[in-house]
Structure 1
Amino acid sequence: MDLKKGYPLQTFSILLIILSAGVFLRAYHLEDKSYGLDEEFSVRYASLTPGEIIRNVEHEPHPPLYYLILHFWIKIGGDSELMVRLLSSLFGVIAIFIMYRLGELLFNKETGIFASLILALSTTHIIHSQEARMYSLLAMLTLLSMYFLVKIMNEKRIVFVIFYLISTLSLLYTHIYGLFILLMQNLYIVILHLRAKEKPDISLKQWMGIQLLTITAFIPWFWGLLKQMGAAFGKISWLTSPPLSDLFNTLLWHSSYNPVTLALFASLSLYTILNWKRSGKHISLTVRQSENNLLLALWLFIPILVPYALSKLIVPIYSSRYTVSSSLAFYLLTARGMNRVKNKYKKGLAAAIIILAMPSLLYHFYFEKTAEPWGDVAGFVDSHAIENDTVIVEPAYARNSFERYSARDDVPVFNGRGNITGGNGRRWLVLRYKDLEESYKKFTPLEKEKFGNITIYLINTSENTNS
Structure 2
Amino acid sequence: MDSANAAASAGITAPSRAGSSRRAMQIFAAILIVAAALYSFHLGKDALGASEAYSAWAASKPGVAAIVRTPVMDDPGKQVFYYAVLHYYTRIFGLSEVALRSMSATLAVVSLLLIFALGRQMFDAETGVAAAAIWAFNPLAIVFAQTARMYPMFIAISLAHLLTLIRVRSRPSTARAIGCGVLGAAMPYTHMAGLLIVGAEAAMLLRDFTRGRRDPMVWLAMAIALGLFLPYVPVAARQSHDLMYGHSLDYLGPAYNYSLTDKVAALAIAAGFGLWLIFGRAVEKDRDEPLRWLVTWAAIPTLAFVIGSIVLHPMFNPRYLSPGIAATSILVAGGIGAWSIKWRNLLAAGFALLCLILSPFARAKPQPWRELARQVAAGGPAEPVFFESGFVSNGRTANEPSAGFPFGYYSVVFNYYFRGPNPRVAVPGYDPQSARATIESRVSAAGGGWLASWKDGDSVRSELPDAKNFKIVETHREPDLGIYRITPAPR
TM-score (norm 1): 0.80
Residues 130, 344 of structure 2: 8 Å contact kept: no
Q: Deviations over 1:351-394 (max 9, x none)?
A: 3421233345421334x633x322223233334x1453333334
Amino acid at match of 2:451: L
Q: Does 2:368 correspond to 1:373?
A: yes
In structure 2, the CA distance between the partners of 1:207 and 1:389, relative to structure 1 (3 Å rule), is closer
Q: Does 2:225 correspond to 1:214?
A: yes
Q: Deviations over 1:53-91 (max 9, x none)?
A: 223363433441001001111111111000011011111
Cα distance between partner residues in 1 of 2:320 and 2:30 = 29
Structure 1 portions without partners, runs of 5+: 245-272, 274-285
Cα distance between partner residues in 1 of 2:29 and 2:21 = 12
Cα distance between partner residues in 2 of 1:226 and 1:53 = 17
Structure 2 residue aligned with 1:146: 162
Report SS of the residue matched to 1:34: coil
1:177 CA drift (Å): 0.6
1:287 CA drift (Å): 4.2
Residues 110, 339 of structure 1: 8 Å contact kept: no
Residues 21, 126 of structure 2: 8 Å contact kept: no
Amino acid at match of 1:189: L
Which of 326, 329, 343 is the matching residue for 1:328? 326
In structure 2, the CA distance between the partners of 1:231 and 1:458, relative to structure 1 (3 Å rule), is closer
Structure 2 residue aligned with 1:126: 142
Residues 135, 329 of structure 2: 8 Å contact kept: yes
Structure 2 portions without partners, runs of 5+: 1-13, 259-276, 390-407, 429-434
Report 1:22-101 matches (<5 A): 22-48=35-61, 49-56=63-70, 58-59=72-73, 60-101=76-117
In structure 2, the CA distance between the partners of 1:289 and 1:58, relative to structure 1 (3 Å rule), is farther
Percent same amino acid among aligned pairs? 23
In structure 2, the CA distance between the partners of 1:187 and 1:425, relative to structure 1 (3 Å rule), is same
Report SS of the residue matched to 2:208: helix
Cα distance between partner residues in 2 of 1:69 and 1:387 = 36
Residues 476, 483 of structure 2: 8 Å contact kept: yes
Amino acid at match of 1:340: A
In structure 2, the CA distance between the partners of 1:318 and 1:243, relative to structure 1 (3 Å rule), is farther
In structure 2, the CA distance between the partners of 1:229 and 1:446, relative to structure 1 (3 Å rule), is closer
Structure 2 residue aligned with 1:460: 487
1:2 CA drift (Å): 6.6
1:423 CA drift (Å): 4.8
In structure 2, the CA distance between the partners of 1:292 and 1:347, relative to structure 1 (3 Å rule), is closer
CA RMSD, 1 decimal: 2.9
Cα distance between partner residues in 2 of 1:27 and 1:354 = 21
Residues 3, 10 of structure 1: 8 Å contact kept: no
Which of 357, 361, 366 is the matching residue for 1:364? 361
Cα distance between partner residues in 1 of 2:240 and 2:424 = 35
Residues 428, 459 of structure 1: 8 Å contact kept: yes
1:175 CA drift (Å): 0.7
1:232 CA drift (Å): 4.7
Residues 391, 429 of structure 1: 8 Å contact kept: yes
Cα distance between partner residues in 2 of 1:222 and 1:414 = 35
In structure 2, the CA distance between the partners of 1:101 and 1:399, relative to structure 1 (3 Å rule), is same
In structure 2, the CA distance between the partners of 1:156 and 1:206, relative to structure 1 (3 Å rule), is closer
Cα distance between partner residues in 2 of 1:62 and 1:149 = 27
Cα distance between partner residues in 2 of 1:391 and 1:183 = 46
Query: Which deviates further from its counterpart, 84-93 or 59-68?
Result: 59-68
Structure 1 residue aligned with 2:455: 433
Q: Deviations over 1:387-415 (max 9, x none)?
A: 53333334522122223223544x43323
Cα distance between partner residues in 2 of 1:397 and 1:88 = 23
Report SS of the residue matched to 2:409: helix
Which of 381, 391, 407 is the matching residue for 2:385? 391
Structure 1 residue aligned with 2:397: none
Residues 425, 462 of structure 1: 8 Å contact kept: no
1:347 CA drift (Å): 4.2
1:312 CA drift (Å): 2.3
In structure 2, the CA distance between the partners of 1:315 and 1:448, relative to structure 1 (3 Å rule), is closer
1:416 CA drift (Å): 3.1
Residues 443, 459 of structure 1: 8 Å contact kept: no
Cα distance between partner residues in 2 of 1:351 and 1:194 = 36
Cα distance between partner residues in 1 of 2:226 and 2:298 = 23
Cα distance between partner residues in 2 of 1:38 and 1:319 = 15
In structure 2, the CA distance between the partners of 1:450 and 1:352, relative to structure 1 (3 Å rule), is same
